[in-house]
């Protein structure tokens, strides 16, 4: 017994320096990433939060603290409230269509044998294209006299429709473009989730008399796609909230402010009117919405997730 105790003590003594060495090595490996996150994300966010409580203007040599005045002015600003409404309406259109539409397309494409690769490329092409470069194409397609959309509306008996210059339809047109841009990426994610669902689950469902396509989807496919659905929903909502390029290129917030979104108004305040303090407060509100929405979606969807 006396020989065992010293041996155990020596073994513990050898493990202690090794553990410290592993801890130092782990810290050394993580340090560059930590410094990068600190420099790129944490510090700018802290500076932004400080600026939101000031009256700083771009190019000014001084500034003064204004407390919560910027935040009070935000919610008293009719332009900000309108942009907030437009943004939520845009998200309410783009989010469900891009998620459930992508899931439907993924199931159809997954069932293809010889033409699957072709459809994957076709649906994923909008993701690889630069939307600013595609703006000319969309302007032509939505042109009331020259574009195919205007021609189709005439053929269907609706008359000439100028989508981008109609206050009631402009935001819907931008939402359709937003769905077109993101649905291919979501489809690829859903196809990745579909490819790892075990086949024996479908066989078990068939033995339980769930042999129909709808029954298989509800009992096997949809529950097993829980993690993918949660990820796609959160990323799609963040992308929809950050809509900016289509507004700048196609409508510039018009007509009559019907397509002014939160990020576009933020850009105008910060880089057109140089009200950096006010724009910083607007950015903090946008960030709060994104964080709250992501947390809410994560908690709501996590209860229904079946991890594989």
pLDDT tens-digit series, residues 187-200: 999 999 888 888 88
Q: Please state the rounded mean pLDDT for residues 115-137.
A: 83
Residue 89 confidence (pLDDT): 95
The pair phi, psi for residue 284, each rounded to 5°, is: -65, -35
Is residue 154 predicted with pLDDT exceeding 90?
no
pLDDT tens-digit series, residues 45-94: 999 999 999 999 887 778 889 989 999 999 899 999 999 999 999 999 99
Q: What is the mean pLDDT of the chain?
A: 85
pLDDT tens-digit series, residues 30-56: 889 889 999 988 998 999 999 999 999
Q: How far apart are CA 261 and CA 178, in angstroms?
A: 13
Is residue 11 predicted with pLDDT exceeding 70?
no
pLDDT tens-digit series, residues 215-264: 788 888 888 888 888 889 989 998 999 899 889 989 999 898 999 999 99
Residue 303 confidence (pLDDT): 61
Residue 7 confidence (pLDDT): 53
Q: What is the DSSP string of the chain?
A: -TTHHHHHHHHHHHHHHHHHHHHHHHHHHHHHHHHHHIIIIIHHHHHHHHHTTB---TT-S---B-TTHHHHHHHH-HHHHHHHHHHHHHHHHHHHHHHHHHHHHHHHHHT-SSSHHHHHHHHHHHHHS-HHHHHHHHHHHT-TTTSHHHHHHHHTTS----GGG-TTTHHHHHHHHHHHHHHHHHHHHHHHHHHTS-HHHHHHHHHTT--SHHHHIIIIIHHHTHHHHHHHHHHHHHHHHT--HHIIIIITT-STTTT--HHHHHHIIIIIS--HHHHHHHHHHHHHHHHHHHHHHHHHHHTT----
Residue 171 confidence (pLDDT): 94
Residue 151 confidence (pLDDT): 83
Residue 14 confidence (pLDDT): 57
More confident residue, 105 or 299: 105
Residue 301 confidence (pLDDT): 66
């Amino acid at each position: 017994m006396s020989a065992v105790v010293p041996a155990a003590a020596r073994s513990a003594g050898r493990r202690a320096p090794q553990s410290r060495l592993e801890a130092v090595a782990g810290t050394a490996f993580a340090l560059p990433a930590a410094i990068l996150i600190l420099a790129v994300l944490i510090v700018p966010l802290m500076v932004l939060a400080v600026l939101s409580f000031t009256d700083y203007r771009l190019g000014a040599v001084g500034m003064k603290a204004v407390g919560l005045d910027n935040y009070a002015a935000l919610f008293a600003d009719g332009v900000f409230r309108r942009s907030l409404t437009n943004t939520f309406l845009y998200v309410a259109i783009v989010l469900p269509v891009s998620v459930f539409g992508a899931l439907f397309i993924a199931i159809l494409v997954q069932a293809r044998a010889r033409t699957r690769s072709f459809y994957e490329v076709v649906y994923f092409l909008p993701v690889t294209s630069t939307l600013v470069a595609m703006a000319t194409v969309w302007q032509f397609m939505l042109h009331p006299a020259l574009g195919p959309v205007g021609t189709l509306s005439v053929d269907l008996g609706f008359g000439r429709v100028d989508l981008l210059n109609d206050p009631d339809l402009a935001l819907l047109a931008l939402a359709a473009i937003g769905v077109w841009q993101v649905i291919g990426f979501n489809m690829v994610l859903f196809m990745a989730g579909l490819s790892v669902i075990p086949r024996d689950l479908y066989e078990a469902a068939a033995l339980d008399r769930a042999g129909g396509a709808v029954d298989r989807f509800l009992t096997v496919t949809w529950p097993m796609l829980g993690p993918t659905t949660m990820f796609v929903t959160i990323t799609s909502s963040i992308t929809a909230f950050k809509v900016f390029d289509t507004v700048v290129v196609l409508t510039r917030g018009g007509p009559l402010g019907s397509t002014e979104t939160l990020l576009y108004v933020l850009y105008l305040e910060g880089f057109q009117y140089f009200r950096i303090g006010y724009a910083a407060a607007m950015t903090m509100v946008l960030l709060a919405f994104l964080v709250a929405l992501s947390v809410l979606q994560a908690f709501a969807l996590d209860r229904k997730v079946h991890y594989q």
